[in-house]
Structure 1
């Protein structure tokens, strides 16, 4: 029987192992410490704008993260709710202690999946880097396998920095992985150092919460997963505080002591999650910066300061924290720190996240240059799916940019690469009108069937919801609105004068029809109030209005996509020697050699490659195929 080994028990590793096992593959998750599976090393939260979309997508395909946060979340909010369905992003604060326990429990009770504690030292092949045969552990034992998914997080040559102090570690209290890092480097893979960081954790009793701005969660809280029965944990508020002039003065005065500005850090940090030092240096005109005060767990008294990531010495961190209103007597339980680690150029990956030069190897998570739990989880899910499909001789699952944020992320990584920690943003998705997170289950239904990880009841639930949505659209097209009809009375109440009859769909396209009027109209339709698993009337009403009102824009986008898809179906032969092509500029040839795109569509998305160059490349491929067939 063939076997998959997943290296790493973080969010990428959880998803890779869980999905592989749910697909029926014999799977082992190897991690340094079984008690740290699912550990939230940084902010104890899941989701957000863009990130929440990906969690919904991986849930629709059979992933774990949505279920885990629903089981352990203590503060749920929908971000961007006033800005429209397409860019809404669910976010939840986790009870990080319960999240870790729930993650391990889920994996331990998943058929086909075994957990193993140990440190990976090397990957083993039969000849060169062909014919993967196993993973060698630091103790000399070997885990036989035909496929491996490496989800090493920040552990590869990891180094923690606090002020001038430098400590080899994958994260606080855990050793770095140096043997596997050196092997991957020795195999000629292009690598770079990246950096991320964490904020200090404080004692709850030392904070005066009466001086902070309360940030309540949604009531009722709305689950992440399409399959969760509800939210079982008690809900608690978060709080907001802002930095002061004293905070800025302390930071600027001590910049030379920071690991980042003292010259101790080599790696590049995340642009969209800067340290507090970076915030004051790079945004000097901003008077203050917002800090989120978030409980880490109902089981502990630790508080996390999201937005105060720092690598200052501990004594400076104390002064910084105590400069915040309400924190004058604050006690730091764990200081913040920066961490540097090895990542490998994602341009060396195929679109299925396999490493082009290493047979049987897939990379997922921070090893590919990303930052964030959700980005890691999404890659882990796709890498796990494709490792299984690779062993079964099946075509990989490659999501298009118009299908999912997961597809946008992977295409960005393997086509454009990244020179800084990559974070998902809604702005990266040019087709985001069609990527509303609440529609992810229906949008990815065909892919979910092909993956085969959802159980029959889950699949039936999604199919029933999609069918009901289609019936609702038909009802709205058939329902006729006149001045004398019940619908007409509702329209008149909204200030609409109907000169002629129109369908209910057309009525819903009028901006004067708000949620209350739409609910009243829908209440007149047969079956609208019938209970069904996964069917929430308020959400379905919003999705219906969104679908009807943005249909013309999506249709225009679909016409543009048709032209682009033609290029995505033209494969570039793997043995094509791009350096020998004539009629293409030297710059384009260099980019093709570096990025090694698999299709013309992928080539067209590489920065600097013009449509004219793609057309010439298409002609040259066509000519080469014609010559080889003679």
Structure 2
């Protein structure tokens, strides 16, 4: 029987092992510490704008993260809710203790999956880098396998930095992985050092919450997963505080003591999650910075300060924290720290996240230069399912940029690469009107059927929801509105004068028809409020209005997409000698040789490769196939 081994028990490893096992493949999850599976080393939260989209997408394909956060979340909020369906994103604060426990319990009871504690030191092949045999462990034993997914997080040559102190570690209290990192570099893979960081954790009792701004969660909370029936955990508020002039003075006075500004860090840090030192240095005109005060668990008294990531010495961190309003007597339980680690150039990956030069190997998560639990989880799911499909001789699942944010992320990584920790943003998706997170289940239903990780009951639930939406749309198209009809009365109350009859769908396109007016109209339709699993009337109304009002823009986008899809279906032969092509500039040749695109669509998205160059490349491919 064929076997998959997943190296690493973080969020990428969980998804890779979970999806492989749900697809029926014998799988082993190898991790240094079984008690740390699903650990949230940084902010204990899931989702956000862009990130929340990906969580709902991986949930639609059979992933675990959405279900885990629903089971353990203690504070749920919809971000960007006022900006429209396309860009609003769910976010939840996790009970990190319960999340870790739930993740391990889920994996331990999953058929086809085994857990194993140990450190991977080498990947073994029968000859060179062909004919994968297994994974060697530090104790000398070997886990036989036919495919391996590496999800090493920050552990490859990881180094923690606090002020001038350096500790070889993958994260606080856990050793770095040096043997595997050295082997991958020895095999010729291009690598770079990246950096991330975390904030100090405080004792709850040492904070004066009366001086903080309360940030309540949504009531009722909305689940992440399309298949969750409830949010079982008690819900608690978070709080907000802002830095002061004293905070800035302390940071600026002690910049040389920071690992980052003291010259002790060589890695590149995340642009969109800067340390507090970076915030004051790079944004000198901003008088204060927002800090989110978030509970880590209902079972502990630790509080996380999101937005105060730092690599200052512990004594400076304490002064910084105590300069915040309400934190005069604050006590730090765990200081924040920066961490450097090895990542590998994602341009060395194929579109299915397999490594071009290493047979049977897939990379997922921070090893590919990304940052964030959600980005890691998305890659883990795609790497795991594609490893299974490769073993079965099936074509890989490659999501398009118009299909999913997961597709945008992978295409960005393998086509453009990244020289800094990559974070998903809705602005990265050029087709985001069609990527609303609330319809990820419908959008990815065909792919979910092909992957085969959802149960028959779960697929039926999605199909029933799609069917009900289609029937609702048909009702709106068929219902006729006149001045004297009940719909007309609602329109008149909204300030609309109807000179002629029109369909209810056309009436709902009018901006005068807000949520309250739309609800009043929909209530007149048969079966609108009829209870159904997974059916939320308020959210379905928003989706209907979005669909009706943005239809012209969606149609225009669809026409543009047709041209893009044509390029994506033209494959560049693996043995095609790009360096010998005539008529292409030296810059284009260099970029094509570096990025090694698999399709013309990928080539067209490489910065510096012009449409004319893609057309000429297409001509060369066509000629070579006729010879």
* TM-score, length basis structure 2: 1.00
Q: Distance in 1 between matches of 2:454 and 2:578?
A: 42
**How big is the shift at 1:400?**
0.3
Give me the whole-angstrom Cα distance separating, in 2, the residues matched to 1:167 and 1:529.
59
Residue 97 of structure 2 corresponds to residue 97 of structure 1: yes
Give the C-alpha shift of residue 527 in structure 1. Answer: 1.5
1:555 aligns with 2:568: no
- Please tell me whether residue 29 in structure 1 is matched to residue 29 in structure 2: yes
> Quick one: distance in 2 between partners of 1:54 and 1:86?
13
Cα offset, 1:319, TM superposition = 0.5
Mapping for residues 174-573 of structure 1, pairs under 5 Å? 174-573=174-573
Q: What CA distance in whole angstroms lies between the structure 1 residues aligned with 2:539 and 2:108?
A: 34
Corresponding residue for residue 626 of structure 1: 626
The TM-score normalised by the length of structure 1 is: 0.99
Structure 2 counterpart SS, 1:214: strand
Q: Quote the Cα distance in structure 2 between the aligned partners of 1:484 and 1:395.
A: 58
Corresponding residue number in structure 2 for 1:590? 590
- Supply the distance in 2 between the matched residues of 1:4 and 1:430 (Cα, whole angstroms): 35
Q: Distance in 1 between the 2:493 and 2:4 partners?
A: 62
Distance in structure 2 (CA, Å) of the matches to 1:113 and 1:595 = 35
Q: Distance in 2 between matches of 1:133 and 1:492?
A: 73
Give the corresponding residue for 1:124.
124
SS in 2 for 1:86: coil
CA distance in 2, matches of 1:486, 1:307: 51
* 3-state SS, counterpart of residue 12 of structure 1: helix
1:128-162 deviation line (CA, Å, top 9, x unaligned): 00011100001010111000000000000000000
Q: CA deviation at 1:525?
A: 1.1
Superposition deviation, residue 520 in structure 1: 1.1
- The aligned length equals 627
Aligned counterparts of 1:524 and 1:219: Cα–Cα separation in 2: 26
Distance 2:532 2:318 in 1: 53
Task: Tell me how far apart the structure 1 counterparts of residues 96 and 379 of structure 2 sit (CA, whole Å).
Answer: 22
1:355-403 deviation line (CA, Å, top 9, x unaligned):
0000000000000000000000000000011000000000000000000
- Cα distance in 1 for residues equivalent to 2:413 and 2:393: 25
Residue 137 (structure 2) aligns with:
137
- Cα distance between partner residues in 2 of 1:487 and 1:126: 73
For residues 83-135 of structure 1, give each alpha carbon's deviation from its aligned partner in whole angstroms, at most 9, with x where no partner exists: 00000010000000000000000000111000000000100001100011100
CA distance in structure 2 between the aligned counterparts of 1:606 and 1:344, rounded to whole angstroms = 19
**For residues 135 and 469 of structure 1, what CA distance do their matches in structure 2 show?**
48
> Offset at 1:531?
1.5
1:51 matched residue in structure 2:
51
Structure 2 distance, partners of 1:529, 1:40, is: 39
| Per-residue CA distance 1:594-613 (angstroms, 9 max, x = gap) | 00000000000000000000
> What's the secondary structure of 2:13's corresponding residue?
helix
Q: Paired residue for 1:157? A: 157
Distance 1:519 1:241 in 2: 37
Check if 1:575 corresponds to 2:595.
no
Structure 1: runs of 5 or more not aligned: none
**3-state SS of the aligned residue for 1:427?**
helix
Structure 2 segments unaligned to the other structure (5+ residues): none
1:602-617 alignment, distance < 5 Å: 602-617=602-617
Please list the CA deviations of residues 189-240 of structure 1 after superposition, one character each: whole Å capped at 9, or x if unmatched.
Answer: 0000000000000000000000000000000111000000110000000000
List per-residue Cα deviations over 1:47-75 (Å, max 9, x = no partner).
00000000000000000000000000000
Give the distance between the partners of 2:341 and 2:150, measured in 1 at CA: 15
4+ aligned runs moved over 6 Å, structure 1: none
CA offset at residue 518 of structure 1?
0.8
- Three-state SS of the structure 1 residue aligned to 2:114 is strand
Measure, in 2, the Cα distance between the counterparts of 1:165 and 1:529: 61
State how far apart, in whole Å, the 1-side matches of 2:592 and 2:94 are: 43
